[in-house]
Amino acid sequence: EVQLVESGGGLIKPGRSLRLSCTGSGFNFGDYAMSWFRQAPGKGLEWVGFIRNNAYGGTTEYAASVKGRFTISRDDSKTIAYLQTNSLKTEDTAVYYCSAGTTGWYSDYWGQGTLVTVSS
Amino acid sequence: DIQMTQSPSTLSASVGDRVTITCRASQSISDWLAWYQQKPGKAPTLLIYKASTLGSGVPSRFSGSGSGTEFTLIISSLQPDDFATYYCQQYNTYPLTFGGGTKVDI
């Protein structure tokens, strides 16, 4: 059974940093691109970014709203993808989902999400 | 950025109804479109990719069509498990963008 489990969310003050983790199991993690999305309370889905698998160089793409502040990385030996979030703003408050897809263009598998609340 | 517009934003329907949701792109995206279903408090699940290809394990009552700028998601006979919010997402160009969602309720 495919599973993606996010962790690391919580309440954090503006300007601080937080690292989210996404642990995958039940599929060949190294073959998949890993993406992050977010959903502000009561709002729709927003793409944050993704990291390609190493066969495609492990390169990354980001939404303009997070570029330069957020960094996606992966450790295939541990089957974990990370989302490092820096200089957090109140508007970054959302449930953050990780997902896996063969290309990163759309997502076959999703985690259950982790809530990040940015507030003073 | 490519803007994705879904209609309607809310749809009231009954079990057994045929339901049609429309998604329009602000520019041509060929058939690089996915549809997701999301239930309250849950993660999205993939229904369709490449505009019309059913995701793994997705019931055949779901179908997708369209290309260019106009796309539709059809549920041929609405089931109780289908009451949810549906999102389209384009992957023709970065940034990947979503429609605003269509909530299907009773």
Distance CA B40, CA B37 (A): 10
pLDDT tens column, B36-79: 999 999 999 999 999 999 999 999 999 999 999 999 999 999 99
Distance CA A113, CA B41 (A): 9
Distance CA B84, CA B105 (A): 7
* pLDDT confidence of residue B101: 97
pLDDT tens column, A1-56: 999 999 999 999 999 999 999 999 999 999 999 999 999 999 999 999 999 999 99
Mean pLDDT of B14-42: 97
Contact status, residue A84 vs residue A92, Cβ threshold 8 Å? no
- A44 → chain B, closest CA residue: B100
Q: Which residues of B touch A61 (CB under 8 A)?
A: 94-95
Which of A96, A95, A100 shows the shortest CA–CA distance to A26?
Answer: A100
Contact status, residue B91 vs residue A106, Cβ threshold 8 Å? yes
What would the two tokens of residue A37 be? 């999305």
pLDDT at A103 over 90: no
Q: Which residues of B touch A110 (CB under 8 A)?
A: 43-45
- pLDDT confidence of A104, banded at 50, 70, 90? confident
* pLDDT confidence of residue B26: 97
* pLDDT confidence of residue B52: 98
* A111–B46 C-beta distance less than 8 A: no
* pLDDT confidence of residue B76: 97
Q: Which of A105, A111, A113 lies at the smallest CB-CB distance from B91?
A: A105
Concatenate the DSSP letters of all residues of B6-67 into one string.
EE-SEEE--TT--EEEEEEESS--TT-EEEEEE-TTS--EEEEETTTEEPTT--TTEEEEEE
Q: Which of B38, B46, B97 lies at the smallest CB-CB distance from A47?
A: B97
